[in-house]
Amino acid sequence: MVILTLNCGSSSAKYQVYDWEARDVLAVGIVEKVTIGGSFINHKVKGREEITINHDCPTHVDAVDLIIKTLTDKERGCISDMSVIGAVGHRVAHGGDKFTKSVIVDDAALEAFNKIGDLAPLHVPPQMLGVQAAQKVLPNVPHCAVMDTAWHQTMPPESYLYAVPYEWYEKYSVRRYGFHGTSFLYTAKRAAVLLGKDPFQTNLIICHLGNGSSINAVKNGLSFDTSMGITPLEGLIMGTRSGDADPALAFYVMRKTGMSAAEIESALNKKSGLLGICGKPDRRDIQKAKLEGDKMALLAQDMEAYRVKKYIGAYQAALGRVDALVFTAGVGEFAFFMREKILAGLEESGIVYDPRKNGMSHTRNTETIISKDGSKIPIYVIPTDEELVMTEDARALMAGTYDVHTHFTYSFQSKDYVNKGRAESLKGELEKHPELKEIIAVPG
């Protein structure tokens, strides 16, 4: 049986095709510039070169239809026809406080998502369009929603409530929800495997650093606190998002400039963060500019690293005992120069990184350990795999075996788990960089 996962954004549709029996990825890809013109699909089948096909997609229905046609194409595809697809898993950014785990999408679920759409207006509406588009193209297949917020539903009230009128929570669901939950679930379970510990006796600080970034404090295997809030704007400095700021800042700028609430919201989400400081949202471009002497690029890096460092310290205090510090997502996995800035000076708190190991770790094909021998708190770099979580949730929902993660065991929780695609790619990487073998993390 084959499981398709879809991650629809406002102008994109990302996908993965997974062969459940073989436990292997058959194809991955993304349709970009959906609804805005000039659409194209980047499509990669296992064992073949990636291809790009230009194809106009004025709606998400067109994008999903393009994905299906590409997957079943005799020359470019990876499956014979749609009958082999047993389930579709959809990433949904916000589940409010209605969902504590993944669900099969029925009319009741769609109604609930539509009601909470205003909690994440930049994310949920386009994702619902993607769900409905996929249902039209694949009407006889179970569709499952996997929420970024579900993982964080274990947070206690002192973590998720804001110090605002309590009736705002009662009437309007104003509270901290947190995001990146699928990534945190995967990396938390994998960290427990590497440590050789029961996941529900494991305390972690996980840094999911990408264009959007957040930190999660995991206490006894459960989300205890997280940096993002009612929306993905709160917390760390991100590519284009401001992160933490005085709430009165918005009112001050509105009075000074005459900007509307919508304009302020757009500026904080799309024109702030690293872009607002140095004019560049991509850490690779910022690193290049810094090395060329750009002082604003250096300032942006210092600000981002300092914000992460502050959260690590806060979560150490909140957890008491920390069994490991974990880096994941694009920046966390590859930007060794950012990890260096974040980790420098944390020695007194028991977090001691090895500069050489850190410099060698920039791969998505294996889990690495970058702490110095003897560091009280080990530091892992764990490549995330949100698509696998979505795949396993969808398969279990279809089979009737799924439950909340405290009563459900994933395949990647086994010491013997192997990601076949990554393992194959690692062989070639080790031929070019044999020294990488020194820092590969081994299950405890």
| Catalytic annotation, residues | 148
Residues 6 or more apart whose Cβ sits within 8 Å of residue 224: 154, 155, 156, 159, 217, 218, 318, 319
Q: Kindly tell me the sign of the dihedral angle through the C-alpha atoms of 390, 149, 212, 330.
A: negative
- Residue 15: half-sphere exposure toward Cβ, Cα within 13 Å: 29
Contacts 24+ apart (CB under 8 A), 410-415: 410/186, 410/189, 411/23, 412/186, 412/189, 412/190, 412/193, 412/385, 412/388, 413/189, 413/190, 413/192, 413/193, 413/199, 414/193, 415/193, 415/443
Torsion over CA: 162, 128, 109, 219 (sign): negative
3-15 b/e (C-beta count within 10 Å ≥ 16 → b)? bbbbbbbbbbbbb
Task: Taking each helix axis as running N to C, give the angle between helix 124-137 and helix 107-115, from 0 to 180 degrees, rounded to the nearest 10.
Answer: 160
* Tokens 């909340």, residue located: 404
Q: Is 413 left (phi over 0), alpha (psi -120 to 50) or beta?
A: alpha
Characterize the bridge pairing of strands 103-104 and 85-92: unpaired
